[in-house]
Structure 1
Amino acid sequence: MEGPEVMDRLKSLLGRMFWLTLAIVFLIEAWIWDHVRDWLRQLERALGLERIEPWLSDLVDRLSPPMTLALFAVPMVGVLPIKVAALALLASGHVFLGVLFIFFSKSLTLGVEAFLFDICRDKLLQMAWFARLYSIVIEIRDWSLALVRPLKLRAMASFARVRARAVAIMGKNGGVFLRRAALLRNALRQKPPA
């Protein structure tokens, strides 16, 4: 292969990797959106706050679509102090804690937004530009799922092969392997110190 041909292949590979990465990030965000919303609903029930949702629904019914959008944007502003704290932690060298704060704020925002979106969806979709944006997001989600599906199927097949090998070696419940590991562990515990 000559230089230009190699460069073309490299550009093509990098392009595919970029779009695949973007699709995976989008799907992770969608997963967080769905699951944190469900966790918030469980928390709402656990705390006995079921009356919040009907109250919010009544409030949204009385609001205009632009005011509903403002209500929908409140959580993004509400987590701003957490994001500032995360940046301060990162700047002061506390990388792990800073990243943890960022993940927490992102998850909280997405969860609350998902919860609110269920309540505000009909009112927000009355705005033509929002309806177009919503349909674009749905198209991107479908595109992301289609792009990642082959990779997901290969990963699941690889996992199934590894699992089958592990069962073949250890038995269905780990049987022989786990018994031998327990015997070895007990023997090491009983061995007197030298």
Structure 2
Amino acid sequence: MPPILRKLLLWPLRLIGHLAGWLLALVIVFEEWGWEPLQKILARIGRWPGLRWIEGAVRGLPPWAAVLVFALPSLMLLPIKLLALWTIGQGHVLLGMLIIVVAKLAGTAVLARLFTLTQPALLQLRWFAWVYTRWMRAKAALLERVRASWPWRAGRVLKRRWRQRWQAWRAR
């Protein structure tokens, strides 16, 4: 195959690869900036007297029960997302989008907390440990590239400035 033809055929694949890389980067950015803070909020809520025993029970689950508990919130969010799509279809776009955003935030918070609680049990499963190890390596490599990018550095500067303004405003 001539090199020019090969380049023309591979161009769409490269484009898809770059788009997939940026999509994955957005997922990781959301995880970095959303997962931890949401998990910490739910950890505080989990210290409430009535909920402590639930967290203790989840921590003590065997591996396959931990998989089921970890997957449950995703399944429970499906009807809510369908409701949001139906709402959008009825012409209430902002309400539908709000439902999706709130469901995503709540679901991420619950998943983050459940993962923290079930991680030791999940890592006892060989397939999960294999996937998790590969994910963490890929995430670290991609985060290194993302953190070196101009948009990330600019975002960090903006975040720092907003934090400084917020602290100055609170001090007044």
What TM-score does the superposition give when structure 1 sets the normalisation length? 0.64
**CA distance in structure 1 between the partners assigned to 2:40 and 2:117 by the alignment:** 14
Shift in Å at residue 156 of structure 1?
5.4
Aligned to 1:84: 82
Structure 2 SS opposite 1:133: helix
Specify whether residues 76 and 18 from structure 1 end up closer, same or farther in structure 2 by C-alpha distance, changes over 3 A only: closer
Of residues 105, 114, 118 in structure 2, which corresponds to 1:107?
A: 105
Alignment: residue pair count:
155
- Percent identity reads 29
- In structure 1, the residue matched to 2:138 is 140
2: distance between equivalents of 1:147 and 1:137?
15
Gaps of 5+ in 2: 162-167
Structure 2 match to 1:31: 33
Structure of higher CA gyration radius:
1
Displacement, 1:96? 2.2
- Root-mean-square deviation (CA, aligned residues, Å) is 3.4
* Shift in Å, 1:51: 5.0
TM-score (norm 2): 0.71
Aligned equivalents of 2:156, 2:43: Cα separation in 1: 34
Mapping of residues 27-176 of structure 1, within 5 Å: 27-42=29-44, 44=45, 49-50=48-49, 52-61=51-60, 63-151=61-149, 152=151, 154-155=153-154
Query: What letter is aligned with 1:49?
Result: W
Distance in 2 between residues matched to 1:7 and 1:126, nearest whole Å: 46
Q: Unpaired segments of 5 or more residues in structure 1?
A: 164-172, 174-194
